[in-house]
Chains A and B, each alone.
Chain A
Amino acid sequence: MAAIELQGVVKSFGPIRAVNGLDLDVPEGICLGLLGPNGAGKSTTMRLLTGQAIADAGSLQVLGHELPRQSKEARALMGVVPQLDNLDIDVTVEDNLAVYARLYRVKDVGAAVDRALDLARLRDRRGDAVEKLSGGMRRRLLLARGLVHEPRLVLLDEPTVGLDPQIRTELWTLIGDLKARGTTILMSTHYIEEAERLADEVAVMHQGRIISRGRPADLIGEHAGRQTAEVYAPPDRLAELRAEAESAGLRVRPAGPAIAIVGSERAENGIVPEDAVQRAATLEDVFVLLTGEEAE
């Protein structure tokens, strides 16, 4: 049985179809990265899974519970780490955790709080108000709050959005530990590096549905080949090179001030300029090719 099974899920907001026939299985014990540009439907999918949005069509099962009918049972078994910091900032670190331990019906609240404090490495700050914590500490606390009841499944909604690189790395370490313990994770993100580092499998979401899914290395092999050539030149020259490469059957994507010729190992002589920077193909190449959006 999969931890999450979605079939044909549709959710519209007025004329906008945020989720448009979504099929998604998340097997027990893996970390699945839901990768997609802003507006792809990732957050709506997360809200559907927590019962805060009701699907117009399709079937949803979480840990064997059918949503929305058994949403409460499903929520009792999963942890959610939201995109936005919604900690109670005037309240102590300890009380923030204790409240959620109670909401999740944890029997030994004290032990759960201690465990979460260890996880967030905040044992020595337990009596401090949240507003006195640094940004990184707050994010660690937010993660620990979602894990206070030791859930079997964790939903991470853009866990590091807007954070500086150091805090992001701290969070990745914590999420890595969670993975190592065998917790099932569904993580929405629009950061390629985050998906590459943490996800066992990546599902690329675009316009409300999954357009490709697999292990990062397999997706790269399937869609981008082995090598990518980045070419830097004036815009007119780039346009010429792009046209030549595309007419030779290669896929080209914009890469900031450059163009990236994907699968450049297959290019005939003369198509890729000699001064191009050759590098291994990445998930970013796949993401941009599939979604047409610039990666972050």
Chain B
Amino acid sequence: MSAQPQAAPAAVTPPARRTMRRLEPAAIAGVMSREVANFQTYWKGTTFSSVLEPLVYLLAFGLGLGATLVDEVEGVPYIQFVGTGMVATAVIFSSALPSMFGTFVKHRFQNTYEAILAAPVDIEELVSAEMLWIAARSAVYGCVPLIVTFFWGLDPAWGMLLVPIFAFVTALGFAGFGITMAAVVAKIDQFNYVTALFVTPLFLVAGTFFPISGLPEGVQVVANVNPLHQLVELVRGGAFGFEAWDIARFAFLVAFATTTWRFAINRMQARLID
């Protein structure tokens, strides 16, 4: 046995009265460091799929439809229209899905949260750290379609520097959504319902492949409350020029992230604390 003998711990002393703070950066950083350590073991596969999937859509729609059926949309070459919109697709694929499956697996199969919560980490800190990590990854993956579209003539613009921020805030919202769903579903198969009812429709009516102004009025209402649509418009704003409305769109995304954050904390609290 190589452990060094040590003096017996001091007798119990009265504790400091100060209660540990909520949302301590050290706790959040600790949880994120666990994610980083794990990510180093699987980053290749995740990065490959997170980059390739949006690119396949971009090339299939942008080049396929662009070459045969659609020349320009709203005065922009179709592949650039799709390429800027695909940022949103990359964001939802790299935030909602990993947060749903990752949270479920860590909680139900790996008992990871039981170990983390035995340390001085509260549910708020755990959920916040998970959301921040997923959003940070997603902000990077979200920029890939934009960069690829440069090769099809998209001109760099200063406004594009804000795209990682837009992507980050949107991904925070979808990470919160995914964590909430992971806390709510009873079995992993039930994610099929979540994907079919929420993820796919949100992705399709975001204005990525066609302007939502062409949709029936009822669907347009739904599209306007779709966070992904707000992100699509903000990215296009960054690329082709912002409008005053874009401030409201960004505020909407902040509200979306805040709401799903609180929902995720609430549902994880119910799931993890008996």
Could you list which residues of chain A lie within 8 angstroms of chain B, going by C-beta atoms?
Answer: 1-3, 11, 13, 28-29, 44, 47, 50-54, 63-65, 69-70, 72-73, 75-76, 80, 82, 84, 86, 88, 90-92, 95-96, 98-100, 102-105, 115, 118-119, 121, 123, 129, 145, 150, 152, 173-174, 177, 180-184
Contact = CB atoms under 8 A, between A and B. Distances in A.
B115 A82 contact: yes
A29 B8 contact: yes
Nearest to B118: A80
Contacts of A145: 115
Interface in B52-108: none
A64 B15 contact: yes
B33 interface: yes
Given A53-B274, A54-B273, A65 B112 contact: no
Contacts of A28: 9, 11-12
Nearest to B119: A103
Nearest to B31: A103
A104 B119 contact: yes
Given A44-B274, A90-B38, 18 more contacts: A28-B11, A29-B9, A51-B117, A52-B114, A52-B274, A54-B274, A72-B120, A73-B15, A86-B115, A99-B33, A103-B119, A104-B119, A119-B2, A129-B41, A145-B115, A152-B9, A174-B1, A184-B9
Contacts of B10: 152
A14 B249 CA distance: 45
B115 A75 contact: no
B272 interface: yes
Contacts of B117: 50-52
13 contacts: A51-B273, A52-B273, A73-B19, A75-B120, A88-B34, A88-B37, A91-B41, A99-B30, A102-B30, A103-B119, A103-B120, A105-B26, A174-B1
Contact residues of B: prevailing secondary structure = loop
Nearest to B111: A86
Contacts of B135: none
B120 A76 contact: yes
A159 to B, nearest CB: 14
B37 A91 contact: yes
A103 B32 CA distance: 10
Contacts of B274: 11, 13, 44, 47, 52-54
Contacts of A51: 117, 273
A120 to B, nearest CB: 9
Interface in B1-28: 1-16, 19-20, 26-27
List the 3 closest pairs (A to B, CB-CB), nearest first.
A182-B8, A103-B30, A80-B118
Contact of A181 (B5, B11, B120, B273): B5
Question: What is the interface residue range for chain B against chain A?
Answer: 35 or more
A50 B118 contact: yes
B268 interface: no
Contacts of B8: 29, 181-182
A75 B11 contact: no
Contacts of B9: 28-29, 152, 181-184
A269 to B, nearest CB: 51
A105 B120 contact: yes
A44 B273 CA distance: 11
B19 A72 contact: yes
A115 B5 CA distance: 12
B33 A84 contact: no
B20 A181 contact: no
A48 to B, nearest CB: 9
Nearest to B120: A76
A82 to B, nearest CB: 6
Contacts of A76: 20, 119-120
A126 B60 CA distance: 47
Q: Which of A44, A52, A73, A86 neighbours the largest number of chain B CB atoms within 10 Å of its CB?
A: A86
Contacts of A105: 26, 30, 120
A286 B65 CA distance: 80
A6 to B, nearest CB: 15
Contacts of A63: 12, 15
Contacts of A53: 273-274
Contacts of B37: 88, 91-92, 95-96, 98-99
A64 B12 contact: yes
B136 to A, nearest CB: 17
B273 A103 contact: no
Nearest to B21: A72
A177 B3 contact: yes
A187 to B, nearest CB: 15
Contacts of B119: 75-76, 100, 103-104
A183 to B, nearest CB: 6
A145 B122 CA distance: 19
B6 A181 contact: yes
Contact of B3 (A2, A96, A118, A129): A118
Contacts of B15: 63-65, 70, 73
B110 interface: yes
Given A64-B12, A129-B41, A75 B118 contact: yes
B198 interface: no
Contacts of A152: 9-10, 12
